[in-house]
Structure formats: C-alpha cells, structure tokens
Chain A
Amino acid sequence: MMLKVENINCFYGRTQVLRDFSLFAEAGQVLCVMGRNGAGKTTALKSIMGLVRPRGGRVTIGGTDIAPLQAEEAPRHGIGYVPQGRRLFSELSVADNIEIGLMARGSGRQVRESVLDFFPVLRERLSQRAGTLSGGEQQMLAIARALCLEPSVLLLDEPTEGLMPAMIARIRDVVLVLKNRGVAVILVEQRVEAVLQIADRVLFVENGRSRETLKADELRKSPEMLARYLGVGA
C-alpha cells in the first residue's frame, strides 16, 4: 500500500474538521474523494501534506509515518500536491514555478525536460509570468510543478474547477497516464461524470468523516449513493 491515513483528527482552532478520518491509496490507482462543500476533502489533502497538523492517528507512506514531520518534509517522501485554485506563484515566471518543483526533491534537468515534454505548451511560455497564463495553462503548470517531484503519490484538489470541457478532457488524460505509470492518485473532484471515467475507487466524505468506499463499477450501479452524499443523481 502506497499511502495510508488512519484515524486522523484535524482542527481549525477549536473547530474539528476531520474526525477519525481514514483512507488508503494504491500504486497505479485513482482514488476519488467526494463529498459536499465543507465536508473536509481539502483538509484531508492538507493533512496528508502536513499543512494541517493531524492530532492523533497516522499518515504513512511506504511504511514511514510522516504525520509528525514538518510540512516541508512531505514532498521529500514523494508526495506531489496540486492545491485547490492552483496556488501558483503567480508573480514568478513559468520557469521559476517549475524550478521550485525541481528544487523540492533535488530533481535535475532530465526531469525538467520530461515534464515539459508532457506539457509542451509550457515550454513555449517559460519566461511568461504564471499569473498571466490562461486558466487551463495555469492548471497544467500546477500539475507540472507537482510532477517535478517525481511523486509516487499525487494529490489533486479539484483540478477541473472552472475549466473548459477540452481542458477537462486533457487533465483526465494526464491523470490516466500517471495512473498507468504507477502513480497513486488521490483526486478530490465534484464532477461525477469525470470521477466515473477515471476512478478505481470512490471515497465519500461526510462531516469530516470518511464514510463508504466503493469501486467505480459499484458506484455506477448505485446512483443512490451520489444522492445520499452529494445530493445529485448520476
């Protein structure tokens, strides 16, 4: 098992956001995390990254407990993170954003070239300020920056938010390629159709608790689950 989160509790001040939350991610699989707004999906990803410190529980990657570590240690254990809203360093150039990703694990020129081969449009815009890219290009850059870490686990927080259909399809393809390369992908996503296309398993989150985990096939046969946890039909 690549990544395992066991019974973590997270708080913002005195407000408890995650309660005995658990999940696991396997190499070469896509785990989609779904739930209503405020359910705790983003906090779950941040707690894996150490950006929100869990109180109690364990976050293990390859058997190593990373929960007690400082946030800046998580990337060195092979976790790439694409935050909600991209969170690019918008005043810096595309090249600088990629360099920051490379620096995180000491990756070299070869990784840089392979990432740019993966997203050729970024190669044409290396000197451009990241904040001036289109929404789709910014998302490509956010993913490219995370891939510079050569992650074994990739966390994607609503990567299709606000994007055109063609760009959503491109991101779906990218996720599938990464999955085929053996990366464990944890995807927070609201679009049911996108989830059903690429997920191996779907974890439903409700009020900060991890509820049921279904295989994508099972979810297709049980649309009532979507209604129950998301309030929508399939």
Chain B
Amino acid sequence: MDFGPHLLLASLEGAVGAAVLALTALGLSLVFGVMRIVNVAHGAFFMLGAIVAWWVADALDAGSALNFLAALIIAPLAAGAVALVAERTILRRLNYNPESTIVATIGLLYVIEQVALMTYGPDARPVEAPWDFRVQLPWFGYSGYKLMVIAASIAVMLAVWWGLTRTRIGLMMRATQFDRETARAFAIPVDKVYGGVFAFGAMLAALGAVLVVPIQQAHYLMGNDPLLLSFIVVIVGGLGSLRGTVLAAVIIGMSDGIISVFFTPTLAKIIATLVVAMILVIRPKGLFGTQSA
C-alpha cells in the first residue's frame, strides 16, 4: 500500500482510539472537575462496561444488533449503579477528602477487578459487532462499525457539552464545581450532584468500553491501559477542563493509532509519554488548565 492510503488507514485507526479515549477521559475529567476526586477506579468501570456487555449479549442471544443495543443500554447503567453505591458507601463517608479517596478508589479498582476475575474468568471474549459492513474506499475497505464508533463518540460528547452548558442540571454541576459551599447556600443538593457525577463518569467509561468491545474483546484487566491514557489525557488537557480533555484525547489517541500502525504500539506509548512530558514542561497546567493541580 502506498504511503498516502497507509496514512489514511492509520489515521482512521487513530480516530477510533481517540473517540473511545475521549469518552473515557471525559468521565474522569468530569469527576475530577466537579468533585476534585482522582478516581483510580475509573479503569475498573471501563472494564465492567465491557464485561457486562458480554454477559448481556451472551444471555440475550437475540442477534448481534439487538444484543449490542441491549448491552449499550444495560452496561453503562450497571457501571453507573456500582459507581453510585461506591460513592454513597465509600467516598461520602470519607467526606470526598482528596488523599483518602485516592486510596479508596485504588482499593475499589482491585475489588472490582478481582470480582470480575472470580465471576467472568481470565479469558478474553468478544462481543459481536451489531453489523458487518465495510465502507469501500478507492484504496481499501474500512469497517463501518468503527466509523460508527467515531460518530457515536462525537454525538455523546456534543450531548454532554449541551447538557453542561444548556441545562439546569449542568448549571448545578458547574456551580458545584466552582464553589461547593455557596452552591449549598443556593439550594443546590451538592451530595446528589456528586453522586450523579460519579455515576455519570463511570457510565461514560462503560459506554466507551461497550463501543470498543467488538474490536478489542472483554477482559478483566482491560481497564488498565484506558485508565493510564485517560490520566495522561486529563493532565495534558488541563485538570478539570473538558475542552482540553477532548483535544488531548484526539492528539494522544490519533498519535497512538498512527504510530502503532506504522511502527509498534510500544513505541506509540513511549512517544505519547514523551510528548506529555514535553507539554507539561512548556505548560505545567496542561493545554487549557487554569487551576493548579
């Protein structure tokens, strides 16, 4: 294949990775932005989304499209429910203390992973894509499902942006983000906002996982790479900045995809980490960061 088409293929692969990464990192960024919590269990919610998707598809057995559609609805709800229980029973009791919640979410990560290992097992299992068609380009054919992943991710991100900037719930979330005490003085139920944001962040991660599981397969350790990349994206984008998170996800996801296609995935990770280090040397608060970390 010539260089041009090869680059286009690599870019498409990178865009798919960027789309899933943006969704996952958006959840992490929301949780940090509003609650000031570094949620190390975010990768576990990603994994949970993929595993529940497999369970739903396996149990339903109603054809690939219906299986996938059901998984797309049930898996994020399941991850959100687990996150909500964790927020009520663990994080709230710690009064959302930044240091304590890091330790607590590390513990939560291990608990969820081990429960997944005990119940789902160590095997990697695929969920069938809802359809199997290829978009035929002049140089190669490309998976229509992967293009749908990109479109779905863009649609979800636009919906999140709309929700945050155009709805009352979004206004409550932003007010809570900027000043928790004053928000309370204006009847904003901060505890409920926190519970909702933590659950929603987990749902975004799970949604990303459901989208990717027909491409990558579900495995009980599959959340570790997205967790690491999401942290990198959130830090590079600027802690708490959703705009920065999306831009950083595109940059890192695309570069990871392109370098992986032309060279190796390991080299892609090395270069991505070096780029992150360089960006943080030049802009310590990230691309759009305004608050000190």
* A contact residues vs B (CB 8 Å cutoff): 49-51, 70-76, 81, 83, 87, 89-92, 96, 99-101, 103-105, 145, 149
Contacts and interface: CB of A to CB of B under 8 A. Distances in A.
A186 to B, nearest CB: 14
A89 B187 contact: no
Contact of B174 (A49, A74, A81, A92): A92
Given A73-B187, A89-B179, 18 more contacts: A50-B184, A51-B185, A71-B184, A72-B187, A74-B185, A75-B185, A75-B187, A89-B178, A90-B178, A91-B174, A91-B178, A92-B174, A99-B171, A100-B172, A100-B183, A100-B188, A103-B171, A103-B186
B185 A89 contact: no
Contact of B186 (A50, A70, A75, A90): A75
Interface string B179-223: 101111111111000000000000000000000000000000000
A92 B185 contact: no
Contacts of B189: 70, 72
18 contacts: A49-B185, A51-B185, A71-B185, A75-B185, A75-B187, A89-B175, A89-B178, A91-B174, A91-B178, A92-B178, A99-B171, A100-B171, A100-B183, A100-B186, A100-B188, A103-B168, A145-B186, A149-B186
B186 A83 contact: no
B169 to A, nearest CB: 10
A83 B182 contact: yes
A104 B187 contact: yes
Nearest to B190: A72
Nearest to B185: A81
Contact of B182 (A73, A89, A105): A89
Interface in B223-237: none
Given A92-B178, A96-B171, A101 B186 contact: yes
Contacts of A51: 181, 184-185
A36 to B, nearest CB: 24
A145 B185 CA distance: 11
Contact of B187 (A76, A90, A92): A76
Nearest to B181: A51
Nearest to A82: B185
Interface of B: 168, 171-172, 174-175, 178-179, 181-190
Contacts of B174: 89, 91-92, 96
A19 B105 CA distance: 39
Q: Which of A51, A72, A83 has the most CB of B within 10 A?
A: A72
B179 A72 contact: no
Nearest to B290: A91
Contacts of B187: 72-76, 103-105
A184 to B, nearest CB: 17
Contacts of B188: 72, 100, 103-104
A50 B186 CA distance: 11
Contacts of B179: 87, 89
B182 A87 contact: yes
Nearest to A86: B182
Contacts of B190: 72
B201 to A, nearest CB: 20
Contacts of B182: 83, 87, 89
A74 B187 CA distance: 7
A81 B188 CA distance: 14
Closest 3 CB pairs of A and B: A104-B187, A71-B184, A75-B187
B214 to A, nearest CB: 39
